[in-house]
Structure 1
């Protein structure tokens, strides 16, 4: 049974210690959701005292760190003066706006990885963990929205360890989370390792969260996909989106979902009215049509990116879907293409 407190080397009870690193343009929702669950589970009577767990915001300096929404949060202590932590939590946010994690931040993460602390990457915080080279051999959870950014920045990553269809992944002393509301779920999962479940459940109720989601709960589906009720089908769709350039076979898709191929086919037919193969084809055609009207990439390049063998293969499938060639489709829609390019 978990105890409310951990114990130090002398055997006396002490709070569970969290060191929180905020990266430039971090997501406020991910940070506040995580910390608020710690606060509510830490004490009784709405006192917000750090009894069961404590949290400290640490940084390279005491200069405020700006969130993506503009709100600034100042660290409480510096990396050099920070004590020991049980969990070091790195909260990220926008990828393409301003500086990323500093060298001092990466050194702090590397030093933490050498000790007993568990490292937690929330939202794009996992990008900093990767840059610090502390994720080798561990499974990595990223948001489906940032999947291709991750692959582009870390081309050597073993994609078998890359997970973009779940809310979070716990792999020994590494925890990675897709971000957003899932930061509450991962905070709950951590606390349940150390604190009575009734305490965590009470904190969730105060936050008007019915129950914490498990790590294998699927991420919300990408826009443009028909929502599926069954979680296995939703995860299958996300896996299709994740592997759009190299589509998974039916057998591999079923294996990852711990189903037989026949079970997966029956679920897809009931949920979408299509077979997994037909649904995956629709996803790849939709992506190809979007790239045709929003980029200058060649038809051959788009075909390869979307899992078709060559431009001719894409052309045949495109005519079945739209009744015209990819080139004609692009020419007929110059306005949408121009608007998309102007927004970049």
Structure 2
């Protein structure tokens, strides 16, 4: 269930960040209007496999789970083979890639799945290339091994479709605490890692406390007793960015929270986050998230 909701949440959040929806999704069951998830309760599905047409789809994901029955299904296999002939991306969540492999659609592809099912995959599908990675993207096949990796897999997929700015926005919304290298990384804070150098944490705290009236890099250096060059080195080593870029990201993400969580005007939010004018905020916001503040508000209102 966590793998399913993690993957879907990434798609829904991508739509929230766009002025027009980027994705739509359907849930497909075997032969009824509900599916028993592996936690033991029923979830609704929008369609059944029998008679389902894949012509309007770009991707199909098979969602498995620790307690999901591992039984071959001819209707499912026929649907997947039809999708493969039409060039769709095929994916597996948790042990979902096992069904793709049984349908003969993973031969020669690298894939991953939950460790509990790895032996079964190796024994029954010797032409598949099993991986121990959390998630794998091999051409038009994607797979993940568990719940956390389902989110990261989908973020990597969205990044290929719409770029890193959309993914950064999704990470910000979902406050991801573990982001793969493929998908980027969340903003570092003074409390992110107790092992960070104390002087570096002091700089981060000063930035977090001075959003409305940002401090200059030289001012920050004077406050903590370091040189400008020393601060730049700390940010390069521990945040893989420059102090100025980090400070801007900190302010722009604060602006995003205010845009989506309050009804304050864009002008007021610009002032509260240290931007001289509304157009300045709008330019930086679009550069970072890919849409304007007004478009972000409109997307929020559509989802309400």
Give the shorter-chain TM-score range.
Answer: 0.5 to 0.7
Relative distance call for 1:50 and 1:71 in structure 2 (3 A) is farther
Q: Which runs of 5+ in 2 are unaligned?
A: 184-304
Relative distance call for 1:134 and 1:215 in structure 2 (3 A) is farther
Counterparts of 1:207-222 in structure 2, within 5 Å, are 207-210=174-177, 212-214=179-181
1:132 matched residue in structure 2:
103
TM-score, scaled to structure 2: 0.54
Q: Which residue of 121, 127, 143 maps to 1:176?
A: 143
Q: Which runs of 5+ in 1 are unaligned?
A: 1-27, 217-344
Inter-partner Cα distance in structure 1 for 2:45 and 2:72: 15
Which is bigger in relative contact order (C-alpha 8 A, separation at least 6)? 2
Relative distance call for 1:42 and 1:121 in structure 2 (3 A) is same
Relative distance call for 1:86 and 1:115 in structure 2 (3 A) is same
Relative distance call for 1:32 and 1:60 in structure 2 (3 A) is same
1:91 matched residue in structure 2:
63
1:29 matched residue in structure 2:
2
Pairing 1:163–2:131 present: yes
1:230 matched residue in structure 2:
none
Relative distance call for 1:153 and 1:60 in structure 2 (3 A) is same
Shift of 1:210: 4.2
Contact 1:110 1:134 in 2 (8 A): yes
Shift of 1:138: 0.8
Relative distance call for 1:98 and 1:91 in structure 2 (3 A) is closer
Deviations 1:195-242 (A, max 9, x none): 2422221212221204631469xxxxxxxxxxxxxxxxxxxxxxxxxx
Q: Which residue of 111, 121, 124 maps to 1:153?
A: 124
Q: Which residue of 79, 83, 88 maps to 1:108?
A: 79
SS of aligned partner of 2:87 = coil
Contact 2:33 2:46 in 1 (8 A): no
Equivalent residue pairs, number: 182
SS of aligned partner of 1:90 = strand
Pairing 1:57–2:24 present: no
Inter-partner Cα distance in structure 1 for 2:149 and 2:25: 19
**CA RMSD of the aligned region, Å?**
2.5
Pairing 1:69–2:39 present: yes
Inter-partner Cα distance in structure 1 for 2:83 and 2:113: 21
